Structure 1
Amino acid sequence: MPERHEEMLAQIAGEYYLENTSKVEIAKAHGISRFQVARYLDEARREGIVTITIRHPLALPADGPELAEALGIASVTIASIPEGAPDARDRLARAAAGVVADVVSEGSRLGVSWSRTLQEMAGHLPTLPGCDVVQLAGSISVTGGGGSGSLIHRLGQAAGGRTWPLPAPLIVETAETAASLRRQPEISDALQAADALDVAVVSLGDWAAGKSTVYERVSPAQRQAATAAGAVAECSGRLLAADGSAADAGLDDCVIAVTLEQLTSTPQVVLVAPSEDGVAGVRAAVAAGIANHLVIGPALALRLAGELGLSITGRSSDSGTGAPA
């Protein structure tokens, strides 16, 4: 009887999918071959007795090309980061390494700023096309890892070309001290080398506690002044207002790093934005013209999509009554 056959299909499917019983064990229990078990499982899916639903943990709101078109930039790469993943930074760094490998070519000049994510990115770039590497921001030391100086040396080894290190702190106490340091030949050479970049790789930090390395290294009065000046984000020590203009808070002259003008004149700028809620910062960087290629996680992609009026419903795929491809 058809009902008996369908019940047998349901029984075998339940043992396989719900009880994790192997096909060999099911075959022995029912006195059939494991090949018959496989055919019955296929039939159960075809007849709708078994349906399989796959929920994508990323629930991406929009794909990269949609976001890139809406932002008016060359590309957006959304890193594969499941919700709550403990290695989220490393996954973002791996995605950034893939973009850098795509845009850097033989004989080009690559400029690299510093962030914890970019530090990890270097580990995913064992080799690069032969190119020169310029350090775009003064040194920052962090607990438990190398600073920007070690990053530039690692990338220089991977690229095999000339390197321009920037042997100075990112931020100093006074504009006079910064001006004196900029006159030093090695520092001056590195800053001038940033005038002729082919590719720049920089990181974006929200102007908030725990979101920017620079934020943690200035005084409370300087933070307050930057906020009052409209700063929403920081890139290589340079503060950005929401409209993409420089947020003048008296810090700029104390920073030893690539300028916003140098970044805007660079043909290819890869901007890595680690923050999950850095919509304002990304919009500011795009408005400033310092983001041709954006690398973000899915949480920020969701927020950006909502801000830009794109679809914000998550994705899921259901095999329905058909067998999976």
Structure 2
Amino acid sequence: MSEAADERPGDAPAPMSAEKTPVRGPAELVLVSAIARRFYLDGRSKIEIGEEFGLSRFKVARALETARESGIVRIDIRLPTRLDAELSDRLRDTFGLRRAIVVAAAEDPAHTRQQLGTVAADLLGEIVTPDDVLGLAWGRTLQVMGAELTRLPRCTTVQLNGVLSARTDGAGSVETVRRAAQLSGGPAYPVYAPLILPDAATAATLRADPGIAAAFAHFDRLTTAVVAIGGWDEHSSTVYQSIDPALRERCAALGVRAEMSAQLFDADGAQVRTELDDRVLSVSAAQLRRVPEVVAVAGGEHKTEAIAVMLRTGLISTLVTDSAVARGLLD
């Protein structure tokens, strides 16, 4: 880009056809390339580059524009193949979320679950700050997340609900809390008790247990909570599977379409109150609503409706899901 080619005050602009691209000589192209290398690769400012080449900041900016227009510089925004940036952005904007992170759906549900858990683990390492109070719920994907955690700042880790003792992997939530605490070096408050109790009296007795009470006392101090989402059928909800058929039918009759930490919701996202509320050891929807950051990790097309329901509740600030669910939600 020669000095003679630059416009000066009072000069008439050189005539140029709008349909033709100006011919640029080799000297100009070499100069433009050098400026582009210093700006994009070396991280130097336009002022620094201008001082080196004896150009104004304005002329450096014009050279960088020329570099892009002529193809000398090509800007290509890429994410790891497992992340879908476009769907993530559309989902965040459509539902007013703080963050939406969409991973590519796989044919094998187990592979999708692994992807979701891995990304969720990376996310926690990114957003959790020192002295946070981190709450972790139960879920198969959250168990993967716990296993994939590699870094956390020092924080307090709290289990958000009891375990599903009828399942062989029911201790997963306890292990996830313990692993998170081990990584962070902060205190842990696990809940060594079932999620669902046979009656309200037994649940009340367990809530008074010193260890469980200590965990519950932190629910009002949570700064970040990580939860799973279930539908209301045998394929989408472990809570559904863990209660008797009569209660399942009563809940369905009341319009239950989704659950999160054993809190039930109808199609409009309104909470549905049932006898189950007094029988579970879990953080409440009201407590989750006061948490500054609620991260929901859920995937699989069969959960699309349930995830849509939970988005209507306004409880979720960040959603980690897969591309099949994201397209279903946007459609």
The interval holding the TM-score normalised by the smaller chain is 0.7 to 0.9
1:223 aligns with 2:277: no
User: Following the alignment from structure 2 to structure 1, what is the Cα–Cα distance between the partners of residues 169 and 220?
Assistant: 33
Letter in 2 for 1:106: P
Deviations 1:173-219 (A, max 9, x none): 11111111111222112112011111000000111112111111100
Partner of 2:288: 263
Residue 61 of structure 1 and its aligned partner are, at CA, apart by 11
Residue 153 of structure 1 and its aligned partner are, at CA, apart by 1.1
RMSD: 2.1
TM-score, scaled relative to structure 2: 0.71
Partner of 2:182: 157
Partner of 1:126: 150
Letter in 1 for 2:100: V
Q: What secondary structure, in the 3-state scheme, does the structure 2 residue paired with 1:105 have?
A: coil
Partner of 1:280: 305
1:107 aligns with 2:131: yes
Contact 1:277 1:299 in 2 (8 A): no
Partner of 2:164: 140
User: Following the alignment from structure 1 to structure 2, what is the Cα–Cα distance between the partners of residues 140 and 155?
Assistant: 20
Letter in 2 for 1:112: L
Residue 277 of structure 1 and its aligned partner are, at CA, apart by 3.4
Letter in 2 for 1:118: L
1:166-185 aligned at under 5 Å gives the runs 166-185=191-210
| Structure 1 residues 85 and 113, CA gap change in structure 2 (3 angstroms) | closer
Letter in 2 for 1:267: P
User: Following the alignment from structure 2 to structure 1, what is the Cα–Cα distance between the partners of residues 151 and 162?
Assistant: 24
Residue 80 of structure 1 and its aligned partner are, at CA, apart by 2.6
User: Following the alignment from structure 1 to structure 2, what is the Cα–Cα distance between the partners of residues 165 and 106?
Assistant: 20
- Choose the corresponding residue for 1:92, options 113, 116, 129: 116
Letter in 1 for 2:115: R
| Structure 1 residues 275 and 250, CA gap change in structure 2 (3 angstroms) | farther
Q: What secondary structure, in the 3-state scheme, does the structure 2 residue paired with 1:204 have?
A: coil
Q: State which structure, 1 or 2, has the greater radius of gyration over its C-alpha atoms.
A: 2
Residue 257 of structure 1 and its aligned partner are, at CA, apart by 0.5
Larger RCO: 1 or 2 (CA < 8 Å, sep 6+): 1
Q: Which runs of 5+ in 2 are unaligned?
A: 1-80
Q: What secondary structure, in the 3-state scheme, does the structure 1 residue paired with 2:268 have?
A: coil
Q: What secondary structure, in the 3-state scheme, does the structure 1 residue paired with 2:123 have?
A: helix
- Choose the corresponding residue for 1:209, options 234, 237, 240: 234
Contact 2:99 2:318 in 1 (8 A): yes
| Structure 1 residues 185 and 276, CA gap change in structure 2 (3 angstroms) | same
1:2-81 aligned at under 5 Å gives the runs 62-81=86-105
TM-score, scaled relative to structure 1: 0.72
| Structure 1 residues 60 and 162, CA gap change in structure 2 (3 angstroms) | closer
Q: What secondary structure, in the 3-state scheme, does the structure 2 residue paired with 1:123 have?
A: helix
Range moving further from structure 2, 279-288 or 130-139: 279-288
User: Following the alignment from structure 1 to structure 2, what is the Cα–Cα distance between the partners of residues 127 and 187?
Assistant: 26
Partner of 2:262: 237
Partner of 2:78: none
User: Following the alignment from structure 1 to structure 2, what is the Cα–Cα distance between the partners of residues 186 and 78?
Assistant: 37
Deviations 1:115-158 (A, max 9, x none): 11101111211221111100000122433574322221111111
Percent identity over the alignment is: 36
Deviations 1:26-47 (A, max 9, x none): xxxxxxxxxxxxxxxxxxxxxx
Letter in 1 for 2:297: V
Letter in 1 for 2:286: E
Contact 1:111 1:197 in 2 (8 A): yes
Q: Which runs of 5+ in 1 are unaligned?
A: 1-56, 307-325
Q: What secondary structure, in the 3-state scheme, does the structure 2 residue paired with 1:244 have?
A: coil
Contact 1:58 1:298 in 2 (8 A): no
Contact 1:61 1:302 in 2 (8 A): no
User: Following the alignment from structure 2 to structure 1, what is the Cα–Cα distance between the partners of residues 180 and 172?
Assistant: 13
Contact 1:204 1:234 in 2 (8 A): yes
Contact 1:62 1:305 in 2 (8 A): no
- Choose the corresponding residue for 1:116, options 140, 147, 163: 140
Contact 1:205 1:234 in 2 (8 A): yes
1:274-313 aligned at under 5 Å gives the runs 274-306=299-331
Contact 2:236 2:302 in 1 (8 A): no
Residue 228 of structure 1 and its aligned partner are, at CA, apart by 1.0
